[in-house]
Structure 1
């Protein structure tokens, strides 16, 4: 991507590019007092001054870099005339970037901010920051939370009706996690990832998204099965002589399956051990 002028309807393009990498921007008013915004890859926003002038722009001018992460567009202004920051905020508000926008000076001080306005009929939004699943192993939740944080800013780049559906799905995922229904939440997250990949708003295509999701799901499931085996080991140790030896061997078989990541065989082996332990009661 080279230097590009961003019209109001292209603000989502600006957000999408910021999701991929840090971008430079410059903003001012042209001779007709209309907003003039340009972006380009990289961290040298001052190089935009010349093309801005060619398009009719002039001082005062704001420029800097921006990046989008975790649902926020952070705009660091190396040149930040207050009037232009205000004009830029007005321009973005009018064109609904659908992410929080934070304006900083080059010293890291917050100058201003803009929260996305709720569209008519928009549902109450929940995001990864709203996950508060007390009593659930944080390590089991962490992969899901990480995936939700990664995909959340990309949902805003989906076309209108689909965006609303995906936001509802994300809120549902958060609710399921908070209720401890992690498998159902996993399924919902996969649906969101596939939808975003399918419309081309993710750096991963659908196949890569599915593979990564499956890998994380297997990893989480592996951890749960290892804990199950550890719990069974304590119960097997309390079994009487010959039964203890037999169940101990069966547990070693289950452990080998886990080491090979053959989760189905490991589950079957541990199911049999649990059944045998139950029969002893």
Structure 2
């Protein structure tokens, strides 16, 4: 991707070419003016945005198209960054390009600008080099026109999207642009990529836009490497950016809570491993940290599944007044076990579907984040139900019941998030994660109300 970064005389020629045609760009601002600006005549703005973020030194990125009108660069953006006009104008000046900058949204509304009266600049007039660039552009073989949008992608584009930097329409447009390349790939590769595209469509329709963005980005990277030739392409390197750092930190924090409930000496060993993982995260050794966290997650999963339910009656017959709580507690423990297993199966299915597909090499280390969502449904309810069973005092038992009801409402809130609403339409395997959890919680609620 480094060959797309333009500076100096080459950048000036491309800016001047903007007087004749619209060009795509991606812009990633960096500290101390270490900015990354990519311009290309054929790649999509979204693709250049992703490449700029990977090439650049910050997670912020803008992308879109630009045209030059007189002494003003008009940039129509799918995504912007703060103070974009001022930052970019100042950067262009360091590249000996004195030009005003106006930033527009997708509808053509001005969202930012840095405009002043500029003295004439003969170097910004057309010359032979600019004409040569235009001639080269005219002679280029046009990429195949994208096929009509897939019906599901079109529907996804029309769905209401939640507020934020992502929107369903732009994600669907990126999918549409990828479709020709996927269709023309080798049959085995096309089949795998097609399955991933279907998953992205499902995520867009369910408004899980962060997941959809990650899926589409992986597809874009895969398609880019197909175009370059997988054998000749340089090996992919882990993305050492803020998004990866935060994702790993979230996994580590979730594991810390899960490990707290495990007995020694296993707890001590897992905490030591987690401390090592945290160190690797802080040092930005993301591959190593992800590997360690994955092993800890596997160990915690096995230990949690192997932990027997607490005995409430010490071998004695269960009193009739607590029998419903014993039954609902045991059923809930089994449900949580099944939830983790289904999510583990989904992770395996995703890893298998993307195996040996260029651009998806880092999927196995990142798909483990699926299990983090299960950690939000913790052992609090079963612990409270166990206390209800063991508490003979009626007043105390009613207090515990109220606590259990609050926990149930919290879990239902988790299950009503975009992730859980979409997970069973994942496009990889059939699951019933949300449905089974809600059904089991309803049965616990009924026991508490009896």
Q: Give yes or no for TM over 0.5.
A: no
Richer in strand (by share): 1
TM-score, normalised via structure 2 length: 0.27
TM-score, normalised via structure 1 length: 0.39
